[in-house]
Structure 1
Amino acid sequence: MYFDPESFNRDWDETFLLADIGILLEQFKRWQRELPRVHPFYAVKANALHPIISTLAALGCGYDSASKNEISLVLKCGVSPDDIIYAHPCKFASHITYARNNDVRMMTFDNEEELKKVKKLFPEARLVLRIETDDSEARTHFKGKFGASVSEGKKLIELAKFENMEIIGISFHVGSGCPSVNSFRKAIEDSKTLFDFARDVGFRFSLLDIGGGFPGTEEHETISPFEKVVIIIKNMTSRHRLKPTSVIRKALDEHFPAGSGVRIIAEPGRYLPGPAIELVTNIFAKTTTKDRVCYGVGESVYNSLTPVLMEGFHFHPQLLEVSPAVYGDEHPFILP
């Protein structure tokens, strides 16, 4: 069990985090077992605690970093720049320069303006074209915000060739907490379409980034949403599995089989550390009105509890019984 050292500098009744590194290891092994062909690039934004980053680095994980600060944090853990993808389609100019100065060459884009900005600041970059997906069933949606359509992608590939910029592959993101198998299937098919188009233009793509959105175990389900998605991707990467999702298996078998020379990566975020983290906060106030009782807790929906506001998450707190001599009438509780 890891105790956040910053908590030692806080008052006794403030919020802190507990991380069980053993559970993190179990999650990583589970990923390797279920998706042996897909190399995880952990999305640092999900949880940037040093022990999370350093543990995953020791396990050989790559990193999805979305800013200068996230790149810096990962580099300080001894991660090779080759194991970092700067996965934000819209980047600060100074952050692109920082990536160039630290030889972080792999980065995403999805529009003409970003392509020309990168050419000006980092012409040696190895670009990954992000395409849009159907994320209608996801908890967090990116369509309309990030990602080029297939037709837009073709124009960007032609433009990159004209501008003498290197594109190495395609990426997509089906949205956070996406349970839809069809979203992955369609995005992989669209990726193949652009792989073929790029070959005709003169590129030889070598990377497919299937993004994030992999959910963890949901309460009361015998098979987690992650494992449902895993069944799809495993079916798409093996010619010998007979599963109900045979249509999707056939898609990747046909388009990106083993031996095709295409490296497949993904950007799991909260899937990896989520089950390993406990938030310990405090009930510090109570208000009774005519029809309800309201409690004040030491954490906010604008901080660690953002998923409540943004994605409709429902946490199930566990009350901790403690000595009144320590906490008086206040009670901390854990949010798993």
Structure 2
Amino acid sequence: MSSNRDYCMLCEDICSSHQEICTICGEELVERPQESSQQRTSINSTSNNHDSLQQRVSFMLQQGNDMGLVEEWEEAPPEAMDPQMAASKHLPTSKECLDRIPRIKIDTTSAILYEATVEVEYKNDEKIEKISFDATIGEFEPHPPFHIVGELHRCSNIFGKRPLSKIESTPTEKLIVFMERGEITFVEKCKNAKSIGAKAVICSNSQPIWPYIMKDSAGKASSDDIPIVMVKRSDGNRIKQVIRQNQNVKVKIEAKKCSSDCIICTEKFQIGDSVMRLPLCSHVFHEECCMSWLTKHNTCPFCRRELPTDNKEYESERRRMGRSHAGSSQSNDGLAEDQWETIFG
């Protein structure tokens, strides 16, 4: 590899701390561009013009001071002469947010290796509405992939404890039941739901922790059980509202293997690695890579979804603009007053 292959075209800067990618933006490094004599002449000319411009501005400010038009003469800042010299306004992610993002150790059944979604469909004033939610899978059998479509009903006991009442559903539709976390294990919820004919369980988290990993600590799961996925608390409340206000609510659950690379360092996740899964977009990175980025930026390294900062003025402006992604003017879903409820559910 050439020793000059250390230039980032996106950042327009030299990166010497990594051999292949820029540690700031993840762009592949290339050889440093060679300056032609024409470019050097242009740069010198620009520098001369810059000096000349600053001299003229300084002279005008001095003249204004002599005439009493300004109270105090001061030299124009460098960024006024050349906007490219202005410092970037990156803000670190809130320390509280960083502390609340779970660190996950990868093993062979880790939910981190899969992505799951729940899509709820219902009729609203003769119009079909669809809402999609991110979900996590149970780290026990049956393992993904799975794709299940059916009719969604609230379980007669919200925690799935027996005895459970039979649920009348459309004969042609599979029954999928909605429960909440608590009182019994996730495996028991699946077995109890199966006893009334359900084909899958959607479980809502009951605590503001997201993502939450469902485990089988007692080792009682089997391949004959039905799948279970979890949504965060705020999404679970939305689903309960839809079930309560509508009939014939349809749902689609899908879980599949996802990319198992850290896009920051481009290394594959290995068994035993500690990773962080960001709460809003669910993108996953090595803990060391992610912390290196988030302690300097408040955005996802991949999709630029914004996370909270400790800067009150910045946060106030972000809420006023309804912005969810860096560089965007407004979001589709808006930002709730309680940023932690929005993020961690």
Q: TM-score, normalised by structure 1?
A: 0.32
Q: Which has the larger share of helix? A: 1
